[in-house]
Chain A
Amino acid sequence: MAKRSIADGLFTWPLPEPPTKPALIGARCSLCGAVTFPQAPGCPRCGETQMEAFDLPTQGTLYTWTTQEFLPKLPYAGLETLENFTPWAVGYVQLADLIRVEGRLYDVDPTDLDFEMPFEVVVRPFTSDEDGTEVYTFGFAPVVERG
């Protein structure tokens, strides 16, 4: 089945072969060092335009979150309906000391969330186009300790 990323230049695409993990792609200002996600043509701190793309760290900690308990209006592209919508969690994950990125929090019961909980970047199927192409997006999932 055909697959595509929800947007170009957002995360590693095509997906890397495990164990390599996908990363979000940010940009860093060559002059003042400010970091953006997604990539931006201009620096939000100094206003200059010498931005360089780089892979953000793939793990971080939960800064804050909320739950989404109602079906978002358009332009939401998820496939749920009013009848089958189930609430999900969304929050900001701080990647090292670089930036806090907002994304869906997968594989976790919202009542188990806590501040500073470790999360890692994941890329998941999100919706599909009319021709059946699977659309992938990014989010975060709890870091699983491997013993």
Chain B
Amino acid sequence: MHPFGRHGDVSALEMGAVAARAALADAGLKWTDIQYAIGGSFEVDNPDAVVAFLGLTGIDFNNVYNGCATAGTALSLGVQAIRSGRYDRILVLGMDKHPTGAFTADPTGYACPAWYGEMGYFLTTKFFGEKINRYMHDYDISAETLARVAAKNYANGALNENAFRRQPLSVEQIMESRMVNYPLTQYMFCSPDEGAAAVVLCRAEDARTYSPEPVWVRSVEVRTRRYGAFEVHSPAVPVERVPAPTTDVAVAAFEAASVAPGDIDIAQLQDTDAGAEIIHMAEVGLCQDGEQERLVAEGATSIGGRLPINTDGGLIANGEPIGASGLRQIHELTLQLQGRAGERQVPGTPRVGLAHLYGAPGTSAVTIVSR
């Protein structure tokens, strides 16, 4: 990994090279050993340009972008390439360097009419406020629970040397910070930032060559929204509801991995805001709708709890360099499953981990790994 945060004049590609070298070193590999690479980014047109820093070896190198699920897509393509037998050693890399402030884009590029942006509606933060407000009403979730989720993630970030925000914040400080989109306050949101992360993939039978304790990819799935899901950037939604893409993709990932939600020992969920972590806990299948109020109050999702979530601080403490964000989750799960997470190590060394991404316009990815 290259730490997430703000890094002055350091370019996204330079951060990408740092992350790539760190992942290669961890696997005892050199760049010249890599046969295929996949690079994910929002801001960098051609992540493959990182070869200028790593070495011009002439390999097959694809670039991907799939919103906030970019890293899930990159990982999925890498896993497919291993499974197909085409390549044995692959580098999956993500990098980004975003300007400050909420993301903005041309609505017509998201199948939204131009007027939707002109009227000020093309804002992800606004949608998250609308979705969690209804969810809190339907399932009796309190504003304190939103703040407790954010406080947990800042506390975890304080233990993570690669995190952007390392200052613990109290529930009171979070609740009293500036309202952004009711009921979500400033400190309940993540920020776009800068950073890079990378993962080396190899064939399962070769894994012990590169690591004494390899982490196995059990499944990676990506899904888009179906008709009736209540998702971001929607001028209107049907009254009939179907499960969110996060639920669809989690069901598919559990099935492909032959793992049940109850088998998950640790999870990294897309916490674009504190409400998103709460909703995603249920959408992924780790709890029932409404159980979050009690689970969060009990500390079940803290590092010492029975279902630790966002142990490295999640997006709230790390910010979101889009291309790298999901690979940060895999990096964290790898450290935790290998027992190398230091001060923030989950007790008992977890065996099965889940990583989840969600982004506009309703795309989700879930990866399940085990040791």
Contacts and interface: CB of A to CB of B under 8 A. Distances in A.
B297 interface: no
A76 B236 CA distance: 19
Q: How big is the B interface, by class?
A: 35 or more
A65 B133 contact: yes
A94 B239 contact: yes
Interface in A54-94: 63-70, 72-78, 87, 90-92, 94
A35 B238 contact: yes
A73 B130 contact: no
Interface in B100-129: 101-102, 104, 106-107, 113-115, 117-123, 126, 129
A115 B135 CA distance: 11
A45 interface: yes
B86 interface: no
A90 B181 CA distance: 10
B83 interface: no
Considering residues A65, A66, A70, A104, which has the most beta carbons from chain B within 10 angstroms of its beta carbon?
A: A66
B182 A67 contact: yes
Nearest to B104: A73
B117 A100 contact: no
A101 B236 contact: yes
A66 B235 contact: no
B239 A64 contact: no
Contact of B235 (A38, A63, A72): A38
A51 to B, nearest CB: 14
Interface string B207-220: 00000000000000
A67 B118 contact: no
B120 A99 contact: no
B234 interface: yes
Given A7-B113, A45-B227, A74-B104, A100 B237 contact: yes
Interface string B193-229: 0000000000000000000000000000000000110
B87 to A, nearest CB: 36
Interface string A83-120: 00001001110100111111010000010000100000
A67 B119 contact: no
Contacts of B118: 6, 75-77, 127
A147 to B, nearest CB: 30
A37 interface: yes
Nearest to A7: B115
Contacts of B178: 69
B239 A99 contact: yes
Contacts of B182: 65-67, 69, 110
A92 B129 CA distance: 12
Contacts of A72: 120, 122-123
Contacts of B122: 72, 75
Considering residues A10, A70, A74, which has the most beta carbons from chain B within 10 angstroms of its beta carbon?
A: A70
B131 interface: yes
A99 B238 contact: yes
A45 B229 CA distance: 11
Contact of A69 (B113, B137, B179, B239): B179
Contacts of A37: 235-236
A127 to B, nearest CB: 8
B335 interface: no
Contacts of B183: 66
Contact of A64 (B107, B121, B130, B236): B130
A76 B126 CA distance: 14
A73 B237 contact: no
Considering residues B114, B119, B183, which has the most beta carbons from chain A within 10 angstroms of its beta carbon?
A: B119
Nearest to B105: A75
B56 interface: no
B30 interface: no
A73 B238 contact: no
B134 interface: yes
Interface of A: 6-7, 10, 26, 34-38, 44-45, 63-70, 72-78, 87, 90-92, 94, 97-102, 104, 110, 115, 126-127, 137
Interface of B: 101-102, 104, 106-107, 113-115, 117-123, 126, 129-131, 133-134, 137, 178-184, 227-228, 234-239
Which 4 pairs across A and B sit closest by C-beta, in order of nearness?
A66-B129, A64-B134, A77-B118, A72-B120
